[in-house]
Structure 1
Amino acid sequence: MGKKFSAASAAVSGWALIGRRPLSVAAWSAVILLGLFLPALLLFLPVIDPFVEMIRAMPQTPDAQDPEMTARIMAMQGQLSLMNIGMMAVQVVAPTIVMAAAFRAVLRPEEGRKFFLRVGAAEGWMMLVSLVLTFGGNIAIFAAMIPGVLLGLIGFVVMAIGGDTEAGAVVGVVVGLIGVIVGEIALLWAFLRLSMALPMTFAERRFMLFESWALTKGQSLRLVGMLLLVGLTLLVVQIVLGVVAVVAMALVAPGLAKTLPAARSVAEVLRLIWPILAVALPLAAIVQTVVLTVCVTPLASVYRSLKPADEAEAAA
């Protein structure tokens, strides 16, 4: 009989880890702040002023033959491309290090020194798996919509040939939506079957992706239940944080409305809002770390319950 896991226990394992290891979560938040938020801010800031200046320089009726404006647009596209490449790097490196630390806290709790933080082979392979899942996921999301769109077009054409174009439009939209929904559900199921790729890669210290398919066989409903429970807990947190954010904005917005319109550059804006950033960025890093921990720790908990005995001994 195949192994099973408790969806409820796995869903709350992230919150339990935060309660057991608050200092580790604080250290992980520092990694997110210094390795994700600040680099992202530094990548984004140099682009703002040139972009604003380009928008202001655009005439009301753009001339497609204006060589100066074309050169500025091309230069801006180059800057944005470099910024996007940098963003891809920072969005993978720091979160993966934190993710591996959360996995280590669950799968190898005896390695608690340095708040479970390491940079090694496990983290490197996890970064590669994350990139593959990200790129593959983007392609798969688009591909999953294609059958629904084609079915909708076929439905419209069939009805239109019969002379009823209005009914054809309705049928096309309905059939297309059903097809897209079915495709997205199939995609979600596939991602659930591959959900053990990251903890397996961490435990084995090598690239593992489709090995997750065999491990999650017969576990789809429990994985869905776990996903829904995690989502519900995060929804409650999101509502609370939304209320706090609205109150905070209500307190600072009047002052910003008076001072920000006078700013003419990013440097001036930063000079005016640096006290807010000094508070907001660390708090945002803590929230990001908590959400990441709550989302990825259940994967390690599920893997710990499902992994074969020989893998359990190797991970110990």
Structure 2
Amino acid sequence: MKKIKLLQYHSICSLIAGGFLILLGITGSILIFNEDIDQALFAPYQVNDTAEVLNLDSATAAVQKKYKNWNTRIIHFKKGESIVFNIRRPEQRMFVFVHPENGEILGAIDESTHLTKWLLKFHYSFHSGVIGRILVLIFGTLFLISLITGTLLYRKNIRKVLLFKIKLKPNKRRAFYSALHSYIGVWALLLNLILAITGVLLAYSVSVAGLKTPKEPEPPLVATSLDKVLSTIDREIPEFHPSYIRLASSKKAPIVINGSFEDDPFVYSIHYNKILVSNTTGDIEKVKKVSEQPLIYKANSMITPLHYGQFAGLIGKLVYCLIGMSGPVLSITGFIIWYKRKNTNHKNGLKPKL
């Protein structure tokens, strides 16, 4: 493909998606720290001076009694700490905090007013329903195309950039922004490709889900002891560490317990390891381990952790945050380069080209 064509495709994709990529990059960079932000925002609902106990049965009974016909997930359950429930209906979601010893409901937060969940919804839909989800998919795809065309377009400069052989010349603005664009693009290329590919895949699944008509939940009450279930898992599958519980969503559905196995690679999502438990008897019906599944299942389990850096420590999150902000900076510097090239062509009497 000729260089001029690559430049046109690169410019068109970047210009169309640029403004939206700035918004996606900023929100995505903040969401890297969503767990840390949630921990700070949840602090008022945390218990103090409580014995190292965990009474899931009392807590679950209290939540199901107060919030009937809500699909229920338990997202935090550690001894001596407030139990956090995430309850859902088609148009509403809430966090509910429960005392780990006596089952008293300590408070609730509507997700629509919660910072990280508001940002997450904006990140995948611009708060615009199905249309917003599809727009995010389109802009994410354009960003991926711009990365690929940019790599092909400037492939001969990659080595020079990595060796710092391209000089930044502040006194020559177009050359300065062009060099800055190259440095940021090359050094952030690998992680940006990962973010773009995983982002497109996530946007596609979110768009497909948005096209389906949600059903009103009719979950049954838990008819077994969750505390005994966790004890059984600890005894029979000691290498498994549960961290997320989905209560049965229908009378025939099982309780699903997600978590990690000790030999799991760090990029596997906990939500793809599943222990299915009977809602009535508490018996373990099935164990689904990511490492024993086909390659496509393993790949799917990596998409969300890779996109949001869920596996990363503080240093890794900072790297993700910086790379996440590279997209907006590339959009701005790319627009400046395009605008200055357009003005130069106009002054020289040349036909404007993207």
TM-score between the two structures when normalised by the length of structure 2: 0.22
Which structure dedicates a bigger proportion of its chain to strand?
2
Higher RCO by CA contacts (8 Å cutoff, separation 6 or greater): 1
Which structure dedicates a bigger proportion of its chain to helix?
1
TM-score between the two structures when normalised by the length of structure 1: 0.24
